Amino acid sequence: MTSACFRRTGVPVDTRDLARAYEELLAAVEAFTAARGIAEADRTTADWLLVHIALTDGMLARAARALMAGERARVDNDACMSREAIAAAIASSTHAERVATVRHGAAQLLELVGRMPWDMALSDVAVRLVDRGGREVFAGELKWVDVITVRTHDHLPGHVRALRQFVANLG
């Protein structure tokens, strides 16, 4: 996944694609929020997505801080997929608060990644990923830049498609 063009010592990571992915996500969230008549099942799923995204952004921000401090970074999404943690967050927040948390997490992650030099972005990160059922689907090492690339081009766009589909289901 990483490219030789990323090997630019001291040059900060280019966050334009990640910023665009978050812009698209937030636009989809705004369209969802403005829509009337969304099915309850779709609202429940959207609430789950917002909390999941916020938890994942927090996890990624912690990993970025660890890398920038010269520590070993770990990405483990178990807590980000936890039904109990997500249900508790949904029960203790409003939709507007969840949206604000996603917006804040996106800004924080973009700021951290944007300060990271490319050579640091090529650091290995211990990654463990689980699905919604808690089953491990990946465990291994990835470059930090690859973690962010997956976030940018796969993870966030998948959530954007889901949110757009909920709105499309109205018409």
pLDDT tens for each residue of 70-117: 999 999 999 999 999 999 999 999 999 999 999 999 999 999 999 999
Q: Is domain 11-165 classified as CATH 1.20.120?
A: yes
Query: Phi and psi at residue 77, in whole multiples of 5°?
Result: -90, 15
Q: How far apart are alpha carbons 129 and 12 in whole angstroms?
A: 27
Give the tens place of pLDDT for each residue, 37-75.
999 999 999 999 999 999 999 999 999 999 999 999 999
Q: How many CA within 13 A on the CB side of residue 42?
A: 19
